[in-house]
Amino acid sequence: MKILNKSHPKHKRLPRDWRKPFAAAMIAICMIVAPVASADTGVDTASYQGCWNGAQAKAAGVNFAFIKLNQGTGYVNPYANCQLDAARSAGIREGAYDFASPQTSTPEAEADKFVSEARARGMVGRAIPVLDWEPSAPGGYWGKQTWWALRWVNRVKATWGVNPMIYMSAAMIPTGDWSAVVATNAGLWVAGYPRGYMGDRLRNPGSVPYSVSPWPFAAAWQYSSSGAVGGISGAVDVNWFYGDAVTWAKYAGAPASSVTSNATTPPPNNKTNGAPVADANTLASAVIRGEYGNDPQRRQLLGSRYAEVMAIVNRRLAGSSGSVSGNNGGAYCVVVSSGDTMSAIAARSGRTPASAWSVPSGNINRIWPGQQVCYGGSTASSVGVHVVTTSHVVTAGESLWKIYGSGWYAAAQRNGLRPPYTIYPGQRLR
């Protein structure tokens, strides 16, 4: 038998031009897999959180913090400096975000404002830039105007020097065509809360359970807006970043040596019912602003300080209308809003069970908007009655979706809002 290839191995060496794409493919696979093993925990903060304690937050497992700088061209987070100082003092990696206001600003003007604020704080070249895209509820007019986001991304890339990220809810993604934004290599930071609005903690939430197409993957996931984290007062957004310190540096356009190494996994005793550390009056103000939600979420987030803080809240709101109130010695009544059920009213007021409430029809399953329902068997005509009209005062940075979640459309109808469903700080919603 004549052996024709005796001088060569049976498995011939791959052609050089073939090995290159093969190696590239293997690297790509590693990039997809590796972040899962090296992901870590962090937060994003705005004015709602005020100044926070970096050392305590770091000890609780905060390895990075996205800090709100501006909203549109006219608003700057008054706590941005102290929040940034807290992060830097504790070796917490930096991110910066601009809350998009396409209703009032051009993308170029807003991008320039954002970069200017970041540069003034020394964040350019060390922080990840982000566009916070929630200008309206999912499906609203402005939420679909992806051209605005594209121009903002291109402007920031040209002035900052890196591809920014864009933040949006999973529900927002399919309402617009994001293919042009994806083509710029802008990373995705997605928000979605599989556990609803109950309190949560810094943890490994696993893979994003939502479709993020047309993005191939999410760089970060905000898995709860009601986190309880040591060193930070009140509820805070908690996040999972699919990468390590080196990955963060690449997104930020920073030398790897300029960022901190990964911290350890959050300690097991960092529970959702841990009591916040701020003084009671500050916490009471946060409760009145709606930052602690309704019971049982509020009770969970305030932990052992619930009674102390709620006593202050009740004193402040005694005799006034508001979303939280106490009993001033008479009956406690609520004006029914569209979409309300007695179970929901009982839960958010902290007065349970629902069967203990008195309703005009005599049947707790038959209530209508505008009616007064009262706790403890009293009626709204009783002497000394305390009537609470359920309402919410809008603060900067809020949207209908952020306030009401999946109930945003009913809230819009209730308040006579029409597309693009614009709301303003100081506006009272019912």
Q: pLDDT (tens digit, 9 = 90+) per residue, 46-100?
A: 998 999 999 999 999 999 999 999 999 999 999 999 999 999 999 999 999 999 9
Work out the average pLDDT over 198-222. 93
Two tokens, residue 175 = 């309402």
From the list 125, 67, 126, the residue with the least C-alpha distance to 97 is 67
Q: How much of the chain, in percent, has pLDDT values that exceed 90?
A: 42
Question: Is the pLDDT confidence value at 245 over 60?
Answer: yes
Q: What is the pLDDT of residue 26?
A: 39
Query: Residue 368 — pLDDT band, cuts 50, 70, 90?
Result: confident
**Residue range 398-407, pLDDT digits in tens:** 777 666 655 5
Q: What is the pLDDT of residue 219?
A: 95
Q: What is the pLDDT of residue 34?
A: 35
Largest CA distance in the chain: 113
Question: Is the pLDDT confidence value at 377 over 50?
Answer: no
Percent helix, strand and coil across the chain, each to the nearest 5: 35, 15, 50
Query: Residue 102 — pLDDT band, cuts 50, 70, 90?
Result: very high
From the list 158, 165, 126, the residue with the least C-alpha distance to 253 is 126
From the list 323, 364, 391, 424, the residue with the least C-alpha distance to 72 is 424
Q: What is the pLDDT of residue 213?
A: 95
Q: What is the pLDDT of residue 192?
A: 93
Two tokens, residue 274 = 């841990």
Query: How far is Cα 266 from Cα 165, in angstroms, rounded to an integer?
Result: 25
Question: Is the pLDDT confidence value at 379 over 70?
Answer: no
Q: What is the pLDDT of residue 370?
A: 63
Work out the average pLDDT over 235-251. 92
User: What Rg, from alpha-carbon coordinates, does the chain have?
Assistant: 25
Question: Is the pLDDT confidence value at 173 over 60?
Answer: yes
**Residue range 121-168, pLDDT digits in tens:** 999 999 999 999 999 877 788 888 999 999 999 999 999 999 999 999
Work out the average pLDDT over 19-34. 39
Q: What is the pLDDT of residue 318?
A: 58
What does the buried/exposed string (b/e) look like for 64-94 if buried means 16 or more CB atoms within 10 Å of the residue's CB? Answer: bbbbbbbbbbebbbebbeebbebbbebebbb
**Residue range 252-266, pLDDT digits in tens:** 998 877 665 444 333
Query: How far is Cα 338 from Cα 92, in angstroms, rounded to an integer?
Result: 44
**Domains of the chain and any CATH numbers:** 32-258 (3.20.20.80), 280-390 (no CATH)
Query: Residue 311 — pLDDT band, cuts 50, 70, 90?
Result: confident
Query: Residue 14 — pLDDT band, cuts 50, 70, 90?
Result: very low
Global pTM value: 0.56
Q: What is the pLDDT of residue 144?
A: 87
Work out the average pLDDT over 99-110. 93
Question: Is the pLDDT confidence value at 6 over 60?
Answer: no
Pick the more confident residue, 221 or 332: 221
Question: Is the pLDDT confidence value at 250 over 60?
Answer: yes
Work out the average pLDDT over 363-367. 79
Average pLDDT, rounded, for the chain: 76
Pick the more confident residue, 23 or 55: 55
Q: What is the pLDDT of residue 182?
A: 96
Pick the more confident residue, 142 or 203: 203
Query: Three-class SS string for 119-173?
Result: HHCCCCCCCEEEEECCCCCCCCCHHHCHHHHHHHHHHHHHHHCCCCEEEEECCCH
From the list 389, 339, 404, 346, the residue with the least C-alpha distance to 367 is 339
Query: Residue 362 — pLDDT band, cuts 50, 70, 90?
Result: confident
Q: What is the pLDDT of residue 391?
A: 63
Task: List, by residue number, the catalytic residues.
Answer: 44, 132, 134
Q: What is the pLDDT of residue 93?
A: 95
CA dihedral 7, 10, 13, 19 (to 10 degrees): 170
